[in-house]
């Protein structure tokens, strides 16, 4: 399934960048520890980067459904039994039974690692879509130390921390950055483990936390994160004009800097932060009321579009229509299913990916059968038709985004003069406040 999943991820994400990919390719035995913002998507984006099979620790509730449980087991998943998953149920196991079940799961991890395999675990113990790192459980450290202890710390087990950063986790064609830390040699904790196994597990867990923290965008609360994301998505190019288009790491650094700056201003200059928050909120609300975005307002004031751009829109219309007709249903169905199936943001992307991996092949197969039966009667022409389907689909998506941007710019030009002047004035105010805040932050930084 790995080639199929890899293809699905390449389609779902506009860019999936791995920083220090070679650290994910070190020979086993290996344990991978990652943050957990996007449920079933998190293990997939990491697993496809490593050639060897990976065993995943997953909460036991996934295994209760017969179909999902079969899929999880076939994907090398090992159940972990959490107390919060069984509390209140009629046949809830006792703490001793939970501990015994988890010890058996730990034993499977030991066996997997002792054979030179790879195990992936999410030490937070839960998946939340916020840009946070929740307190880590010690299970990953205890498994790593326990495996090495069984071999007198001569097994050579390494532990690699993976910071998974989504830039818009629930949307199709968004970006994700895997920020990989240097390996930890578990044998380095041998003496501490022999003195006090619990203290060694705590120390290794703390080292995992530090390495993940350095490789993640972490917000303090939802309000700060909302402000930082609004600034980044609206004025990111203004704040980072020398952005390197070949990497997502610049975006990662900008996100971290913005959140650090928000925290600093809250403590040292809350009045400036409140003024920026109010001005930006008013400006974005006005844009939304006029069905515009900042890029449309900014671009509309620049030199006019070249004739060649309009010709591309006109000449590309038939290809867009072809791509729309042949790809609309398999494209829309995954989002509809995901939003009907759950209201939890962290599950949407995984559901969309899974449903899309079914709807697109099925739709293409049905369309190919129809074309072969009623139109071509020639498998070579039908094959060309099938090849054209994904190409036309991607073209249609890009064409629609370009057309939408041009329509918004046209809407800007049709605004009443007073409305346009007010929007431009509010935009100028926000930019001035941002520039002043940046200058003040740099003076202390």
Q: What is the pLDDT of residues 339-393, one digit of tens each?
A: 998 888 888 998 999 999 999 999 999 999 999 999 999 999 999 999 999 999 9
Please give the structure tokens belonging to residue 209. 């936390």
Tell me the backbone φ, ψ of residue 80, rounded to 5 degrees.
Answer: -115, 135
What's the rounded mean pLDDT across residues 222-241? 93
Q: Would you state the pLDDT for residue 304?
A: 59
Q: Would you state the pLDDT for residue 308?
A: 65
What's the rounded mean pLDDT across residues 45-65? 87
Query: In the structure, what pLDDT confidence band is assigned to residue 91 with cuts at 50, 70 and 90?
Result: low
Q: Does position 257 have pLDDT exceeding 90, yes or no? A: yes
Q: Would you state the pLDDT for residue 170?
A: 80
Q: Would you state the pLDDT for residue 400?
A: 93
What's the rounded mean pLDDT across residues 201-211? 98
User: Rounded to whole angstroms, what are the CA distances from 247 to 225, 229, 250?
Assistant: 22, 19, 7
Rounded distance between C-alpha atoms, residue 303 and residue 6, angstroms? 42
- Percent of the chain predicted with pLDDT > 70: 96
Residue 347, helix vs strand vs coil: helix
Q: Would you state the pLDDT for residue 56?
A: 92
Tell me the backbone φ, ψ of residue 118, rounded to 5 degrees.
Answer: -125, 135
User: Rounded to whole angstroms, what are the CA distances from 104 to 97, 110, 139?
Assistant: 11, 10, 13
- Percent of the chain predicted with pLDDT > 90: 71
Q: Does position 276 have pLDDT exceeding 90, yes or no? A: yes
Averaged pLDDT of the chain: 91
Q: Would you state the pLDDT for residue 103?
A: 84
Q: Would you state the pLDDT for residue 66?
A: 78
Rounded distance between C-alpha atoms, residue 299 and residue 297, angstroms? 6
Domains in the chain: ranges and CATH: 2-213 (3.40.1130.10), 222-290+424-444 (no CATH), 307-414 (no CATH)
What's the rounded mean pLDDT across residues 425-437? 96
Rounded distance between C-alpha atoms, residue 103 and residue 97, angstroms? 10
Instruction: Give Cβ neighbours of residue 196 (< 8 Å, ≥ 6 apart).
Output: none
Q: Does position 251 have pLDDT exceeding 80, yes or no? A: yes
Residue with tokens 């704040």: 239
Q: What angle do CA 394, 399, 402 make, to 5 degrees?
A: 130
Gap between the terminal Cα atoms of the chain: 48
Q: Does position 93 have pLDDT exceeding 80, yes or no? A: no
Residue with tokens 């060649």: 308
What CA dihedral angle connects 338, 340, 342 and 343, to 10 degrees? 110
More confident residue, 407 or 82: 407
Stated as kind and residue range, the H or E segment containing 291 is none
Enter the pTM of the model: 0.89
Beta bridge partners of 56: 77, 120
> Alpha carbon 229 to chain centroid distance?
15
Which of 34-43, 270-279, 284-293 shows the lowest mean pLDDT across its residues? Answer: 34-43
Q: Would you state the pLDDT for residue 388?
A: 97
More confident residue, 3 or 445: 3
Considering all CA atoms of the chain, what is the largest pairwise distance in Å, rounded to the nearest integer?
Answer: 78
pLDDT in tens, 123-140: 998 888 889 999 999 999
Q: Does position 13 have pLDDT exceeding 70, yes or no? A: yes
Rounded distance between C-alpha atoms, residue 18 and residue 42, angstroms? 13
Q: Would you state the pLDDT for residue 311?
A: 80
Query: In the structure, what pLDDT confidence band is assigned to residue 63 with cuts at 50, 70 and 90?
Result: confident
Q: Does position 305 have pLDDT exceeding 60, yes or no? A: no
Beta strand pairing call for 158-166 and 184-185 = antiparallel
Q: Would you state the pLDDT for residue 58?
A: 85
More confident residue, 269 or 60: 269
């Amino acid at each position: 399934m790995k080639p199929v999943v890899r293809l699905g991820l390449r389609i779902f994400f506009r860019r999936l960048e791995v920083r220090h990919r070679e650290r994910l390719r070190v020979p086993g035995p290996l344990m991978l520890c990652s943050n957990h913002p996007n449920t079933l998507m998190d293990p997939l984006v990491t697993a496809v980067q490593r050639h060897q099979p990976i065993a995943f620790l997953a909460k036991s509730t996934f295994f209760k459904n017969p179909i999902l449980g079969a899929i999880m087991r076939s994907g090398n998943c090992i159940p972990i039994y959490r107390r919060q998953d069984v509390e209140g149920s009629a046949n809830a196991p006792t703490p001793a039974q939970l501990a015994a079940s988890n010890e058996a799961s730990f034993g499977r991890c030991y066996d997997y690692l002792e054979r030179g395999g790879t195990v992936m675990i999410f030490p937070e113990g839960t998946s939340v879509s916020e840009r946070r790192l929740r307190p880590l459980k010690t299970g990953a450290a205890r498994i790593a130390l326990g495996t090495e202890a069984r071999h007198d710390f001569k097994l050579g087990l390494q532990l690699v921390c993976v910071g998974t950063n989504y830039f818009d986790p629930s949307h199709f064609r968004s970006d994700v950055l895997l920020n990989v830390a240097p390996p930890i040699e578990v044998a380095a904790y041998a003496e501490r483990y022999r003195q006090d196994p619990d203290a060694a597990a705590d120390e290794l867990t703390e080292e995992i936390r530090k390495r993940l923290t350095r490789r993640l965008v972490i917000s303090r609360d939802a309000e700060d994160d909302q402000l930082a994301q609004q600034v980044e998505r609206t004025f990111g190019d203004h704040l980072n004009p020398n952005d390197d288009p070949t990497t997502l790491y610049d975006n990662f650094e900008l996100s971290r800097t913005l959140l650090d700056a928000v925290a600093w201003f809250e403590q040292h200059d809350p009045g400036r932060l409140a003024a920026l928050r109010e001005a930006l909120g008013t400006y974005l609300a006005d844009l939304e009321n006029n069905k515009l975005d900042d890029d449309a307002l900014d671009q509309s004031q620049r030199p006019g579009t070249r004739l060649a751009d309009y010709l591309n829109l006109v000449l590309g219309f038939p290809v867009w229509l072809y791509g729309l007709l042949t790809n609309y249903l398999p494209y829309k169905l995954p989002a509809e299913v995901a939003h009907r199936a759950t209201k939890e943001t962290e599950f949407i992307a995984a559901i969309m990916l899974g449903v899309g991996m079914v709807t697109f092949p099925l739709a293409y197969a049905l369309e190919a059968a129809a074309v072969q039966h009623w139109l071509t009667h020639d498998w070579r022409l039908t094959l060309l038709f099938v090849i054209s389907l994904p190409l036309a689909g991607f073209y249609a998506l890009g064409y629609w985004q370009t057309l939408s941007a041009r329509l918004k710019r046209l809407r800007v030009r049709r605004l009443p003069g007073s409305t346009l002047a007010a929007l431009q004035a509010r935009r100028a105010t926000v930019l001035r406040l941002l520039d002043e805040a940046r200058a003040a932050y740099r003076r202390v930084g």
